[in-house]
Amino acid sequence: MIGRNKEVAELLELYAGNKAELVAVYGRRRVGKTYLIDETFRDKITFRHAGLSPVEMSNDHQKNQPLKKQLEAFYYSLITQGMKKSHCPKDWLEAFFMLEMHLQSIDNGARQVIFLDELPWMDTPKSGFITGFEAFWNSWACHRNIMVIVSGSANSWMENELINNRGGLYGRVTYEIKLSPFTLKESEMLLKERGISLSRYDIVQSYMIFGGIPFYLNYFKRGNSLAQNVDDLFFSKGAKLSQEYNRLFSSIFTNPDAVKTIVKLLSKRSKGFTRKEIVSEAGLSDGGSLSKSLNALIASDFIIKYTPFECGKREEHYKLVDPFCIFYIRFVENKDSIENGFWLQNIEAQSIITWRGYAFENVCFNHIPEIKRALGISGVNTSESAWTKTGDGERGTQIDLLILRKDNIVNMCEMKFYSDYFMVDKDYDATLRHRQNLLYEKLPKKSAIHNTLITTYGVKDNEYKWSFERVITLEDLFA
């Protein structure tokens, strides 16, 4: 298994224990939660069930009976895994009671593993699911040699209804694992394992599109270039990911349209928007439902909330960081017709070159630990931010990444995605000095600024190459 050694070790240690465990595994959809559990507990799972997707049920003729469909599916899982035929449970209390009876009937003293996949999907409106699950765990499972593993892609549900539950499940989750997308290094390892040969330059571009999501990378075809794979997955008849964006939001969020409105707005500006700007420009009301949508997006790792340098809490920005969403909105959404071979034909178009620049900045934001390691400051407390200074009669500036360190150093980072060495000329050197001078005015006297370049292959050798104290390359990002 690629890149999940820590999580596998944690799960196996819990399995080896002699007490009841309720383990929550959550993370962005398609990130590999089910695969992790299946591979870790191969031949050890006593009972498993996956909730029915709300996307599929919305297309079903019984879409107004979601509780009934979920209970039927749970009953069928019980039957196919050894329970004697009975009757479909009338509610979740009865459903979990049936599970208890089934597990008792096959109990041979060995540790039992119960895997409930996509738990949030089972909690349909007014279903009483939490009550049924609470009774199952508190009254029965927590007293037995049992390990219950629950997973979900709706991270806000997993956090609010389960992990941070204030009712009968308060403090009941014994362990939680939030599964992250692959890093550049892990993405490279996965592609190599599948026999797919791409340069690191192209693997970074794949990350700009697919964001290190294993499910997407597994669609790549051997023998195809990155551009051919992108065309195959987005810009061809019946493309596998042409509808993924809508399915992604419908399967995670209870209010997908409102959430997509926010994401569409955030995609327009790399530094993000304040809450006030979101209300104004997206035409949304500033209330609890907006807070719920924003928090759900943050929990699902689609967006981040940060305070720009020199700003107060009221000026917190919400920034879209999910590469797949950014790419889809920019190049796929609302296309009138499928353009076969669009990516390969336009690979050197200015719009795509410009996009690569912004997308590389996002790759860097997703690899702060690797950047800190390259700087030799993995153990130093830092905060990361952006800074924009408007002109006010003089030349303003924008710095996309500041790393503010506890050792009195501020790394002022420039991020440049080039196909060759980056050349610093006289004008660019002057721009760096201007930005540095403006930033020094805002920093404590004890601080020093280190100009830091994050780029593909390094800096071209000339008289201005010393404009940067530190240069970080792809080799560092893949470390």
For range 436-453, the mean pLDDT? 95
Provide the token pair at 434. 């201007």
Rounded to the nearest integer, the mean pLDDT of the chain is: 94
pLDDT digits 0-9 by tens, 287-315: 999 999 999 999 999 999 999 998 888 89
Give the integer Cα–Cα distance in Å for 372 and 387.
19
pLDDT of residue 91: 98
Confidence of residue 179 (pLDDT cuts 50, 70, 90): very high
For range 72-100, the mean pLDDT? 97
pLDDT digits 0-9 by tens, 113-141: 999 999 999 999 999 999 999 999 999 99
CB 412 within 8 A of CB 439: yes
pLDDT of residue 61: 55
**Residues linked to residue 148 through DSSP beta bridges, in sequence order:** 22, 114
Residue 68 has pLDDT above 70, yes or no: yes
Among 32, 66, 244, 263, which residue's Cα sits nearest to residue 153? 32
Residue 63 has pLDDT above 70, yes or no: no
HEC string for 145-163: CEEEEEEECCHHHHHHHHH
Q: How far is CA 263 from the centre of its chain?
A: 14
pLDDT of residue 334: 77
Confidence of residue 340 (pLDDT cuts 50, 70, 90): confident
Q: Is 114 helix (H, G, I), strand (E, B) or coil?
A: strand
Confidence of residue 341 (pLDDT cuts 50, 70, 90): confident
Sorted by where each starts, the structural domains of the chain and their CATH numbers stand as 5-179 (3.40.50.300), 184-242+338-361 (no CATH), 245-329 (1.10.10.10), 368-477 (3.40.1350.10)
pLDDT of residue 338: 67
Among 46, 94, 51, 43, which residue's Cα sits nearest to residue 73? 51
Residue 18 has pLDDT above 80, yes or no: yes
pTM to 2 decimal places: 0.93
For range 2-22, the mean pLDDT? 96
CB 290 within 8 A of CB 94: no
pLDDT digits 0-9 by tens, 205-254: 999 999 999 999 999 999 999 999 999 999 998 899 999 999 999 999 98
Task: Work out whether strand 303-306 and strand 317-320 pair parallel, antiparallel, or are unpaired.
Answer: antiparallel
Residue 84: its H or E element: none
Q: How many CB atoms lie within 10 A of CB 370?
A: 20
Residue 392 has pLDDT above 70, yes or no: no
Residue 339 has pLDDT above 90, yes or no: no
Confidence of residue 59 (pLDDT cuts 50, 70, 90): low
Q: Is 19 helix (H, G, I), strand (E, B) or coil?
A: coil
Question: What single letter denotes the amino acid at residue 5?
Answer: N
Sheet holding 448-455, edge to edge: 382-389, 397-405, 409-416, 448-455, 470-472
Residue 62 has pLDDT above 60, yes or no: no
Confidence of residue 397 (pLDDT cuts 50, 70, 90): confident
Report the range of poorest mean pLDDT among 32-41, 45-54, 184-193, 329-338.
Answer: 329-338
